Structure 1
Amino acid sequence: MARYMQLHLNGGKGPDGRTMVPDDLFRELHTVQFFKPYEPNKELYRPQYPVGARNIGEALGLEVADYRGYRRVYYFGLSAGFTSLMSLFPDQSGGVFTVLNGPEFPLSVYMDVHSTLHYRVADMLLGLEPWLNTTTACSFPQPWVTSSSSVTYNADDTDDTMPSAYSLDFPRDKRDYEGTFGNPIFGNLTIRLNSTDGTLRFKHGLIGHGIILPLATTSGNRVLLNGPIRLLAPVAAYFEETQGGAINRLVIPVTSAEPSVVFERGLKLTDVDELPTAGGCTVSGAEATVYDMWPYDLQLGVAFIVFAFKFI
């Protein structure tokens, strides 16, 4: 990762000085292509904060911003179980990369952890007086932001909020939920009843699998798709019924501004829908162990930091 960052900082030149990517392509890569609206979860403004950090716009796959008046190019990435953030300061020939492991929710907490590390390292790199100390770094964004960034759950919401409780009792026979549910983009999701332990199990794609838990809410068809921590963070969803009362859709809300992901019952998009047997992706036997619920506060297993500076 350090070599990749150095490639950006050196305008496409490798460790031996040889041009690997033309400099003009990197300049275009770091140039704003369109501007972005105000993003309160990513920007700092005086006098609320002691410093300023502002997003300018989108480049080609990267975001362009300024931090305390210095140009910053960065990218935030996530995958199942991991989040990462890369910050480059091209004019100062330095940068920092962090990666954290754990479930992906809530993202606001992960962004706070990444941002705290990057702001502190940026001050060191830029030779500025640090504004985060051992107290404020652990409480960021407090004391400047007093409201909690935690995501709350309301049984009537249809957005990406997370539940606070679950039960073990389904409102109807578990066999009513069995079947194959398909989505044109996300493929097949199969639900089956485990005859050994009586749990309702799901399988999605090649590596997604886990247990379905009913949520303790007034709306009886809300459930939690809970998989192994290394693969899938808990996902809140709900089943829809036909007028006759049959289960016909599984709906996974995304955000209030985006359409939900809908899996239609009986829509099978491929005949190849098996879990791989190599690499530890399957759970052998009857899968009798129910996956423990992952708490929704931050569970920080590993924090890995990479520093990169321009070649001399």
Structure 2
Amino acid sequence: MIENRIQRILMITCLTVLIISNGKADRNKITEDIVKIIDDSLKCRNNPALAISVVKDGNVVFSRGFGSRVVGQQVNVSGSTLFGVASLTKAFVSTLIVKLLDENSKYTVDTPLRIVFDDESLFKDEILSKYATIRDLLCHRMGIPGNDAIRLDTNLTRENLVQRMKHLDGTGRFRDSFYYNNLMFGLLTRITEMLGGKTWEALVKEHIFDPLDMTSSNFATTADPEKLELAKGYVDHNGELKEVPWEFSRRWGKLCGAGCILSTADDMAKWMQFHLSGGKTRKGKRLLSKRALSMIHTPLIRIATSTTSKYYTRPLSPVTFSDDSYAMGWKTGYYRGYKILSHTGSTYGYRAKVTLYPDMNFGVFSAMTGDDPNFFYRFNVHSLISDMYLGEKPWLNASMMCSFPELFQSKPSSKPQINTKRKPARNVRDYLGFYTNIPYGFATVAKNETQLTLQYGFGRFELYAKTTKDEFYVQSVGMITGLTNFKSLKFIESSDGTVTAVEISAFESKDPPVFRKVLPSSHAPTNAVLPTRCFILQVFLTVVLSGVIFC
């Protein structure tokens, strides 16, 4: 009896050791395969740095970097290297504000914004002003176009953003149209500060970073890049990598909740584990109730069209990778029939993506520097890694990742060629002047030596004439190189042929803002990058009554 029992114990022990050994061998093989394919696929790309982390069944099974943090130098990337994660920040916004609301019964996600801000006319539309709630902001169903270029205005603050909302038109149906809008997450940033009594950055650190032990994570608004293990951001400008000035990242991230977080593969693994564990820290302490986390993950609005759907849907593609609904800071969908939560992040110099498989207790994070047109590389990396860890046969290899989507369908059309030598149909001086718009503020059209330029906030654009009279291509230069290219604007003339305004569709295509001219060319600065104090005083009395200046 005793001998038989000992034999059974020894047999079970041997089997356990064998299973563990095989599991480790399998994981090592997966790791080796991933590293080889990623290394090979990066050879055909212009992405200097990449970091990936993977979590499965509560464990971090992969976290490492590829490439170099600085172009031209071999500064290795690791799991502790910081990247801008851009709109992955939005899930932090939803988690933080829901946590604060959960702890403070005064408001809920369904509290009308007019009550939160104590203002009955928050928006141009009366229906929005009366009924819009925190929940509506969190899932992009306000029906207001993005107007992202407002973030270039040097006068923009989290406090005065709400005043600008009063002047933005809605072109979609409230609660029935998905209009992705970073400004709404700027409003959420401000609401969170009002609830928590501290800056949004301080609240994220206190309520999320510290409890989850995300010790390396930071913010573009407050970080000192010289003191960090940071991968420098780059944009691909006509095939040449250009470094994104840190000053741009700091200014562009001013609203913070729209996309200011910096994080690492190691820290984002902890963030994924928090969501996959139902709201607990790695030590098992509950940070957010299951009910609250479930609410964050529940889809609220359908996404009518997806940038990637036509490239990752059967039968045009071997698999379907969908993200056709939006929750609170998360997209919801399916990959190969597995339920997923995901989000991409794209800001100037950085690209990121996170994919969670709640039913499989599995998640993938990636971040890179450089560009990723149409999200192809991020989706392919996540597809490959997901297949390997979910036991599916991978449908991609390094060669296919380089040529995608050519094996399955044609590539997206290339961008137009701009004729930089074409002369405008009228005298350039007719365009020069000082223009204003509510809620954007001031813009200056000037001639810088031989080049017609537009200055708006800290953004400078060169204008190149199109074949149509008074229409121009807009190309961002200087600090914002790569921000807005191949888009357009057109000058508007009155019945007597005088230029009286400029409509800038490059700033917002769904509802292009119209800037009206308030001072003609004879008063406008011809070679100034920014208007001088004296020049601004000249137009102050002209525009102050119209409310263009926000305090």
Query: Do the structures match in fold with TM over 0.5?
Result: yes
Residue 477 of structure 2 is matched in structure 1 by: 227
CA displacement at 1:6 relative to structure 2: 2.6
Matched residues in 2 for 1:78 and 1:113: separation? Answer: 13
Residue 266 of structure 1 is matched in structure 2 by: 518
Matched residues in 2 for 1:125 and 1:261: separation? Answer: 48
Matched residues in 1 for 2:439 and 2:347: separation? Answer: 18
1:19 correspondence with 2:269 = no
Compared with structure 1, are the counterparts of its residues 78 and 187 closer, same or farther at alpha carbon in structure 2 (3 Å cutoff)? farther
Gaps of 5+ in 2: 1-262, 520-528, 531-551
Residue 431 of structure 2 is matched in structure 1 by: 177
Matched residues in 2 for 1:64 and 1:19: separation? Answer: 24
Compared with structure 1, are the counterparts of its residues 182 and 76 closer, same or farther at alpha carbon in structure 2 (3 Å cutoff)? farther
Compared with structure 1, are the counterparts of its residues 9 and 165 closer, same or farther at alpha carbon in structure 2 (3 Å cutoff)? farther
Compared with structure 1, are the counterparts of its residues 266 and 86 closer, same or farther at alpha carbon in structure 2 (3 Å cutoff)? farther
Q: Any conservation in 2 of the 1:116–1:137 contact (CA below 8 Å)? A: yes
Pairing partner for 1:127 from 374, 386, 391: 391
TM-score calculated relative to the size of structure 2: 0.41
The 3-state SS of whatever aligns with 1:16 is coil
CA displacement at 1:5 relative to structure 2: 2.5
Pairing partner for 2:460 from 196, 209, 220: 209
- Relative to structure 2, which stretch is displaced further, 24-33 or 217-226? 217-226
CA displacement at 1:130 relative to structure 2: 0.6
1:244 correspondence with 2:460 = no
Q: Any conservation in 2 of the 1:87–1:97 contact (CA below 8 Å)? A: yes
Residue 145 of structure 1 is matched in structure 2 by: 409
Residue 52 of structure 1 is matched in structure 2 by: 320
What aligned pairs does 1:1-312 form with structure 2 within 5 A after superposition?
Answer: 1=263, 2=268, 3-37=270-304, 39=306, 41-42=308-309, 44-102=312-370, 109-146=373-410, 148-153=411-416, 164-167=418-421, 169-194=423-448, 197-205=449-457, 207-210=458-461, 212-228=462-478, 230=480, 232-234=483-485, 235-253=487-505, 258-266=510-518
Percentage of pairs with the same residue: 27
Residue 292 of structure 1 is matched in structure 2 by: none
Compared with structure 1, are the counterparts of its residues 48 and 42 closer, same or farther at alpha carbon in structure 2 (3 Å cutoff)? closer
CA displacement at 1:142 relative to structure 2: 2.0
The 3-state SS of whatever aligns with 1:54 is coil
Gaps of 5+ in 1: 154-162, 268-273, 276-312
Q: Which amino acid aligns with 2:426?
A: R
Note the aligned Cα RMSD (angstroms): 3.0
Q: Any conservation in 1 of the 2:459–2:476 contact (CA below 8 Å)? A: no
Q: Determine which structure has the larger helix proportion and give its number.
A: 2
Q: Which amino acid aligns with 1:122?
A: S
The 3-state SS of whatever aligns with 1:74 is strand
Compared with structure 1, are the counterparts of its residues 216 and 253 closer, same or farther at alpha carbon in structure 2 (3 Å cutoff)? closer
Q: Any conservation in 2 of the 1:33–1:57 contact (CA below 8 Å)? A: yes
Q: Give the greater-gyration-radius structure (CA).
A: 2
Task: Encode CA deviations 1:13-68: one digit per residue, 9 max, x unaligned.
Answer: 22322222222211111112233446473253333322222334221221101000
CA displacement at 1:237 relative to structure 2: 1.9
